[in-house]
Chains A and B, each alone.
Chain A
Amino acid sequence: MIILDPTGERAPAHRTALQRPRDLTGLRVGLLDISKPRGPEFLDRLETLLAGRGVAVSRYAKPTFTKPMPPDLRREIGTRCDVVIEALAD
């Protein structure tokens, strides 16, 4: 659904990132592959390292790194994760 912004449009339509947490204990962590080459290898390694610290992760992938994330994926990550780690690799 498209709606028209009722505000004075002085703030960006998209909300800004939260502050970085001090540690990941008890937080829901998402790993986002932006679909650049070798991103998965980097995220696999992170997942192993995080698992070693007892942090479970959920994995997500954007269809393409060339376009903004689909709104539904953004919503899903926002609903299910407290923190997301995004891989940028080449």
Chain B
Amino acid sequence: MPEIVDDLPRDGLVAVVKRDCPTCVLVAPVLASLPGLTVYSQDDPAFPDGMAVHDDTALETSLALDVRTVPTLLRFDGGAETARTEGWSRPAWEELAGITGLGPALPEHRPGCGSRTGDPEFADELLVRTRGSSLRARQIELTALEDEAEALFDRGFSDGLPVVAPTPARVLRMLEGTARDPGEIVATVPPDLVEVTVEKVAVNAVLAGCRPEYLPVVLAAVEAACTDEFNAHGLLATTWGAGPAVVVNGPVAAEIGMNARGNALGQGNRANSTIGRALQLVIRNVGGGRPGGVDRAALGHPGKLGFSFAEDEAGSPWEPLSVSRGVAPGVSAVTVFAAEGPRGLADQISRTPESLARSLAQGLRGVSHPKSPRAFDATLVVCPEHARVFAGAGWSRADLEAALAEALLLDPAEIVRGAGGIEEGVPADRLSGPVPKFRHGGLMLVHAGGGAGMFSSVIGGWVGGPGGSTPVTREVRP
């Protein structure tokens, strides 16, 4: 039983009506004939005409009584509701009122109309009224003279593109996307090391343009990015231009409509475009990491607005990336990794896995600098038409990794300082033999893309390992 508002009678009859309901208009003469009746009007305090009516245009009594239909007639005895009927039904009204002969000129039955509490236009207000008090984030009042979109830029909440105003109603709807408590601490966000709650992540997910069902993925990405291994602080503070990227595995990717196929790394899919953006907005707004501040990138890249996509598991010749990283099959997970912008590698001729692996290795060699061994990590996004070659030869993920590692053993003569007329390179006294391009575990393979095109993509990263950033995988919790 909801909390009862003060002016309800302890004993007697109560009717809730609205003028905009033909049935309410029909029963108005009946209402006038009921002794000791208290009437609440949802839309017009002057209705029914000639009666003393309580103004319930704010719908407080209707909400307290959980009125779904008008007219609703209720009986109270000793402060408690003892009977209720909806719409007009002579027998029901007579029984409830204990009076016979009600509305002799009226039809026997007439269904009521929807209560104003159920109006779609009232849905947001109702949501905020009933659950708004659970919100903890500081409220900011935008003035009537401010343009909403401009106001959000002015306050520094945007990454440079328009953001969606995080109104209490939108944040409450976003929070419906997770079963987690809004007050739960998700992570401590660098660089300012601020604890972030589920609610605060939801606020930024609204800003980013996410739908509520994306929130669990965003929460997992925030958790993964705010770990010592991923080192979001270092990735932000480095003058190198990489940023966090998110690859999503498991059933959640399809459930929320992520794109793993054609243009997977590109624009045009809301989930792909906003999940990574929400993570970056959390780092910007909650963590305080902004370009020109702790973000010291010399150039950066467009994907720092947000970079997320799903792995194409169905078309992949290999187990999902998340499974290769220890997550159980069928469990949704995110993997965050340091990412520059993707660079395509076109090989339309190789039909043997050996040739294609060597070809892809050529593309990977340019990461950081073609003469730099074990400098930065990288991710190789293998497109379907390239993956088909490996699948046809029965190559596992490990087989390809081994072939790439072999093809990426760098010849000291090519990488020593001065080689090729290029001063950049490895000092001669540090070279005693071939050197691997990537540290062990520093190359990640993902399968994505779609349609025609023998074009895989190299995504350079940043310094890997304990002194840099290691990819981190976290399960997506509902």
Please tell me if the beta carbons of A3 and B194 are within 8 angstroms of each other in the complex.
no
Q: Given contacts A72-B144, A75-B145, are A4 and B167 in contact (CB under 8 A)?
A: yes
Interchain residue pairs with CB less than 8 A apart (12) = A1-B148, A1-B165, A2-B140, A3-B139, A3-B167, A4-B168, A5-B137, A8-B200, A8-B288, A74-B143, A75-B143, A76-B145
Q: Which of B196-229 contact A (CB under 8 A)?
A: 196, 200, 203-204, 207
Please tell me if the beta carbons of A6 and B145 are within 8 angstroms of each other in the complex.
no
Among A2, A6, A71, A74, which residue has the most Cβ atoms of chain B within 10 A? A6
Q: How many A-B residue pairs have CB under 8 A?
A: 76
> Given B135, B141, B148, B204, which contacts A6 in the complex, CB threshold below 8 Å?
B204
Q: B189: which A residues are within 8 A, CB to CB?
A: 8
Q: A8: which B residues are within 8 A, CB to CB?
A: 189, 192, 194, 196, 200, 285-288
Please tell me if the beta carbons of A2 and B141 are within 8 angstroms of each other in the complex.
yes
Q: B207: which A residues are within 8 A, CB to CB?
A: 6
For residue B164, which residue of chain A has the nearest CB?
A: A3
Q: B287: which A residues are within 8 A, CB to CB?
A: 8
> Given B145, B194, B196, which contacts A72 in the complex, CB threshold below 8 Å?
B145
Per-residue interface assignment for chain A, residues 50 to 81, with 1 indicating a CB less than 8 Å from any chain B CB and 0 otherwise = 00000000000000000000011011100100
Please tell me if the beta carbons of A6 and B288 are within 8 angstroms of each other in the complex.
no
Give the CA-CA distance A1 to B157 in the complex, in Å.
16
Please tell me if the beta carbons of B166 and A3 are within 8 angstroms of each other in the complex.
yes
Q: B443: which A residues are within 8 A, CB to CB?
A: none
Please tell me if the beta carbons of B143 and A7 are within 8 angstroms of each other in the complex.
no
A20 within 8 A of B: no
Q: A2: which B residues are within 8 A, CB to CB?
A: 139-142, 167-168
Q: Which of B161-189 contact A (CB under 8 A)?
A: 165-168, 171, 189
Q: B135: which A residues are within 8 A, CB to CB?
A: 4
Please tell me if the beta carbons of A6 and B165 are within 8 angstroms of each other in the complex.
no
Please tell me if the beta carbons of B141 and A1 are within 8 angstroms of each other in the complex.
yes
The distance from the CB of B139 to the nearest CB of chain A, in whole angstroms, is: 5
The distance from the CB of A29 to the nearest CB of chain B, in whole angstroms, is: 20
List A residues at the B interface (Cβ < 8 Å).
1-10, 13, 71-72, 74-76, 79
Please tell me if the beta carbons of B288 and A10 are within 8 angstroms of each other in the complex.
yes
Q: Given contacts A1-B148, A1-B165, A1-B167, are A6 and B281 in contact (CB under 8 A)?
A: yes
Give the CA-CA distance A82 to B412 in the complex, in Å.
64
Q: A9: which B residues are within 8 A, CB to CB?
A: 137-138
Give the CA-CA distance A1 to B143 in the complex, in Å.
7
For residue B135, which residue of chain A has the nearest CB?
A: A4
Known: A2-B142, A4-B138. 4 other contacts (CB 8 A): A1-B165, A4-B135, A6-B204, A75-B145
Q: B137: which A residues are within 8 A, CB to CB?
A: 4-6, 9
Give the CA-CA distance A7 to B282 in the complex, in Å.
8
Give the CA-CA distance A3 to B135 in the complex, in Å.
11
B429 within 8 A of A: no
Give the CA-CA distance A75 to B142 in the complex, in Å.
10
Give the CA-CA distance A74 to B140 in the complex, in Å.
14
The distance from the CB of A81 to the nearest CB of chain B, in whole angstroms, is: 14
Give the CA-CA distance A87 to B144 in the complex, in Å.
26
Please tell me if the beta carbons of B286 and A71 are within 8 angstroms of each other in the complex.
no
> Given A1, A3, A7, A13, which contacts B286 in the complex, CB threshold below 8 Å?
A7
Please tell me if the beta carbons of B139 and A4 are within 8 angstroms of each other in the complex.
yes
Q: A3: which B residues are within 8 A, CB to CB?
A: 139-140, 142, 152, 165-167
